[in-house]
Amino acid sequence: MTECRDERVQAGVRTRTPAATYAGPKLEARQRDSSGLVAVVHPSNDMDLYSSLGECYSAIAVTESSVCREARDGACVEYAEEVRAETEESSADGTSAEARARMSTRTETRGQTGSDQCAAGTNGCAECDSSNTACARCEAEKRLEGSQCVDGIGVPLGRGLTADPKSCSSTITNCASGTNCIDIQNNGVTKEVCTKCENTHVPIDGACDTIANANSKCTPPSAADGTCKSCQGSHYLFSGGCYAACPDGYYGDSNTCKPCSTIAGCSTCSSGTVCTKCDGGKIVKTDNGVTSCVTEEECTKAEGFFVKGADGSKTCEACDSTCKTCSGGGEADKCTSCKDTGMIYLKKDSPAGQTGTCVDAAGCPSTHYIDEEAKTCSTCASAGTTGCKTCAKTDGVVACASCEDSQKFGLNKKSCVT
């Protein structure tokens, strides 16, 4: 693990303190994953080290033993994780408690109910995530800041962003001083945008426009602070500004950009239930109008689904309702096997083909025979017979069952002859 020693946030102000000058307790950063397992990130005898956050932090330098994630105008405005340092002495129950700090992931808002569960409608949280452990969206006129919804923007900074807030480049004008720019993505293209302008301007599509020019798109707070409180027309509120199109990972609803996080692994969506693109090499699966993100293997293993390729992308689509499995050639009704009830026989399109349609016994024509073992309906000719009016498979052998009136059975009933 890489040791990070110099840059720190202390009481909300970044300083550069040599590790050797720090005489605090030994600390050890630990990160908890989604299953509750704790892994040591980095042991240290000088500072808490959080490589996953890209910074080093002093656990004793900020209020309430919290890590300062964002420093703005000389004050810590966002606390990312909780850190608790233990002393070198053994605990009361006799267990060793070598100097260490535990880090519990609490970057999203809890609906402060006295537990780790999120509750919509509590303390400004409008919508919880799919696991009900964090707030995904604050109520109108509020934003996520640290561990609570506070008065402000209305769409959370931090959830779904491609980068943390940063200082703006020289191409961004009229943006408020400090770390008020972020990088977002639109259709996979990264774009730098301002989230808080000078008080005479507001963010429109990531650039600062005058309040007068933006009045048909943005409504600022009653006391103008360089942000939009709400959006109108065809614009959507995101991170303090109004956008004609929501960034990747969000969808527009009621003039607000809402996160796609309700669908696990979804990177782009058109609504809270319809994913259009997945992360991590997964593909979108559509099942009765509901989308999810799956691997290609998971798709083909699921009964009644196949991988469909189109326009350079792949999706997991449902086969025809009668199919158990179907081909990946893009035609859902090209079954390769049939379900175990109802139309159970595969009637192939050609003798040498592997696909067809599913039929019941009545749907298998008289010029075909049923193979109960293979559950297929095949032409008499495909079994090597000639001129049969009807045929059947008996004791593993296909033979003519009847001939035309002017014909009679040939040798071993493998043909009808005159």
Tens-digit pLDDT profile for residues 238-259: 999 999 999 988 999 999 999 8
Residue corresponding to tokens 């409008």: 126
Contact 220, 228 (CB under 8 A): yes
- Find the mean pLDDT for residues 111-117: 53
- Find the mean pLDDT for residues 167-194: 91
Of 252, 157, 245, nearest in space to 195 by CA: 157
Degrees to nearest 5, angle at CA 380 with 377 and 384: 125
- Find the mean pLDDT for residues 134-144: 62
Of 187, 127, 120, 196, nearest in space to 157 by CA: 196
Task: Give the C-alpha separation, 166 to 316, whole Å.
Answer: 39
Of 186, 209, 213, 208, nearest in space to 195 by CA: 208
Task: Give the C-alpha separation, 365 to 122, whole Å.
Answer: 66
Residue corresponding to tokens 């060793």: 96
Residue corresponding to tokens 């005489």: 23
* pLDDT score, position 102: 30
Q: What percent of the chain has pLDDT over 70?
A: 61
Burial 322-347 (b: 16+ CB within 10 A, else e): bbbbbbbeeebebbbbbbeeebbbbb
Q: φ and ψ at 412, to 5 degrees?
A: 60, 25
263 pLDDT above the threshold of 70: yes
- Find the mean pLDDT for residues 276-301: 90
Structure tokens at 324: 């158990």
Confidence of residue 312 (pLDDT cuts 50, 70, 90): low
Please enumerate in sequence order all residues whose Cβ is within 8 A of that of 108, keeping only pairs 6 or more positions apart, or say none: 129, 133, 134, 135, 136, 144, 158, 159
pTM of the model: 0.49
Structure tokens at 316: 């997991």
Q: What CATH number labels 380-418?
A: 2.10.25
Domain ranges of the chain: 1-107, 380-418
347 pLDDT above the threshold of 70: yes
Beta pairing partners, 75: 72
* pLDDT score, position 166: 87
Quick check: helix, strand or coil at residue 396?
coil
- Find the mean pLDDT for residues 64-77: 43
Confidence of residue 310 (pLDDT cuts 50, 70, 90): low
Of 286, 294, 285, 288, nearest in space to 265 by CA: 294
Task: Give the C-alpha separation, 336 to 329, whole Å.
Answer: 11
280 pLDDT above the threshold of 90: no
3-state SS string for 312-340: CEEEEEECCCCEEEECCCCCCCCEEEECC
Please tell me the total number of residues recorded for the chain in this structure: 418
Task: Give the C-alpha separation, 195 to 394, whole Å.
Answer: 77
Amino acid at 324: K
* pLDDT score, position 17: 35
Lowest mean pLDDT among 11-15, 156-160, 194-198: 11-15
237 pLDDT above the threshold of 90: yes
Task: Give the C-alpha separation, 4 to 304, whole Å.
Answer: 51
Task: Give the C-alpha separation, 163 to 180, whole Å.
Answer: 12
Strand 48-50 relative to strand 55-57, pairing: antiparallel
Of 125, 127, 241, nearest in space to 175 by CA: 241
Strand 55-57 relative to strand 7-10, pairing: parallel
Contact 337, 355 (CB under 8 A): no
What would the pLDDT profile of 388-409 be if each residue is shown by its tens digit? 999 999 999 999 999 999 999 9
Give the number of other CB atoms < 10 A from CB of residue 256: 19
Confidence of residue 100 (pLDDT cuts 50, 70, 90): very low
* pLDDT score, position 213: 95
Please enumerate in sequence order all residues whose Cβ is within 8 A of that of 93, keeping only pairs 6 or more positions apart, or say none: none
* pLDDT score, position 129: 62
121 pLDDT above the threshold of 70: yes
Amino acid at 126: A
* pLDDT score, position 115: 54
* pLDDT score, position 198: 95
Strand 313-318 relative to strand 305-310, pairing: antiparallel
Task: Give the C-alpha separation, 254 to 161, whole Å.
Answer: 21
In DSSP notation, 39-107 reads EEEEEESSSEEEGGGTEEE-TTSSGGGEEEEEEETTEEEEEEEEEEE--SSPPTTS----S-EEEEE--
